[in-house]
Copies of this chain bind each other. A is one copy, B any other.
Amino acid sequence: MLKVALIGSGRMGAFHGETLSRRLPGVRLAAVADPAPGTAEKLAGDLGADRFCTDVEAVWDDPGVQAVVIAAPARFHAGLVVAAARAGKAVFCEKPAALTLDDLDRAIEATRAAGVVFQVGFNRRFAPDWAAARALLDDGTLGTPRLLRSLTRDPGGFDPSRVAPDTIFNETLIHDFDTLRFLNPGATVTEVFAAAGALVEPTWGDRGLLDTAVVTVRFDNGAIGIAEACFEAAYGYDVRGEVLAEGGMASLGDGRRTGLTFSGPGGRTVETVRGDQELFGGAYTAELAAFAAAVTTGRPAEVTGEDARAALEIALAAAESARTGKAVAR
């Protein structure tokens, strides 16, 4: 049994904890750590974890813990990765792995020095549509990409007072930046241009909160990518992708909740997906399964620190472009 500790017991932490506890044969949820009083205890109890702690040091010191899943707030990610690596634990870290390139470089270096697996939470790579599109690229069906699109639309209902200004770039669109790279394998970003605004919460625009953005990403193989995000879609959670390539087009992201269609006086209707855990439940599980497999087999992680770094570079350039109004060369 691979013993994995969970660090962070918020919304995503709870889902990852359930996966570690219940959905992965051969994996055991060894501990839940969270400094907020009571939360680790509660989640550990609910999931039957072996132990809980409010001080993450207890995880580092636990020789029975072989790996950690980091789902703490983003600003703590890099430090936690470094500490985990120094303690010799394999690391799965939610995205973004860091908020600055320096921090991320330190995290990558620490995991490399420790020789531990370091995987980052770009879960879409494990979703069936995304994996199938990549397969069409890998087997040559699509050929070289020309135009790419990746978008994320959240179902709304966020509290603007709790969202940092560049969140749309480094927490939301970072998924799309990774998707654009994933669907243009081997290509390098050369230029980033962002147009962004506060369209959902206009009154927060003055405080710098961006909730809607379009980012143009150019690659060295000529392909042009578009990443779009909006914090509110009236119809739910919408994540899609598109690759127009020499051999055709792949369209990703069906968005249907079930296969049922209701035809009534108003026409023909299908229900739409309402949240990320509903849409990507399987992908969240699959990424942890892949992480566990990498740890136990010694194979490299399928999503690396370098992948995280490349996506963060785009996110930082996009934020800069949104501020300056100019395209940013990389």
Contacts and interface: CB of A to CB of B under 8 A. Distances in A.
Nearest to A145: B199
Interface in A222-274: 222-224, 226, 228, 230, 233-235, 238, 244, 246-272
Interface stretch (A32-40, A91-99, A129-137): A129-137
Interface in A29-72: none
Interface residues of A, number: 69
A322 to B, nearest CB: 11
Nearest to A251: B261
A228 B218 CA distance: 14
Contacts of A252: 259-260
- The interface residues of chain A, by DSSP majority, are classed as strand
B268 A255 contact: yes
A146 B235 contact: no
Interface string A3-27: 0000000000000000001110100
B271 A260 contact: no
A214 B224 contact: yes
Interface in A124-166: 128-129, 132-133, 136, 141, 144, 146-147, 153
A75 interface: no
Contacts of A293: none
A227 B147 CA distance: 12
A325 interface: yes
Contacts of A271: 132, 267-268
A195 interface: yes
Interface in A274-328: 325-327
Contacts of A132: 258, 260, 271
Contacts of A136: 262
A103 interface: no
A265 B235 contact: yes
A193 interface: yes
Contact of A265 (B23, B212, B248, B267): B248
A185 interface: no
A54 B218 CA distance: 48
B269 A266 contact: yes
A200 interface: yes
B265 A260 contact: no
Interface centre among A198, A216, A326 (most CB of B within 10 A): A216
Contacts of A23: 23
Contacts of A21: 25
Nearest to A22: B25
B259 A128 contact: yes
A263 B223 CA distance: 18
A95 to B, nearest CB: 22
A248 B129 CA distance: 24
Interface of A: 21-23, 25, 128-129, 132-133, 136, 141, 144, 146-147, 153, 191, 193, 195-200, 202, 212-214, 216, 218, 222-224, 226, 228, 230, 233-235, 238, 244, 246-272, 325-327
The 10 closest A-B pairs by CB, nearest first: A254-B259, A248-B264, A235-B263, A128-B258, A249-B263, A129-B260, A251-B261, A234-B248, A132-B260, A146-B199
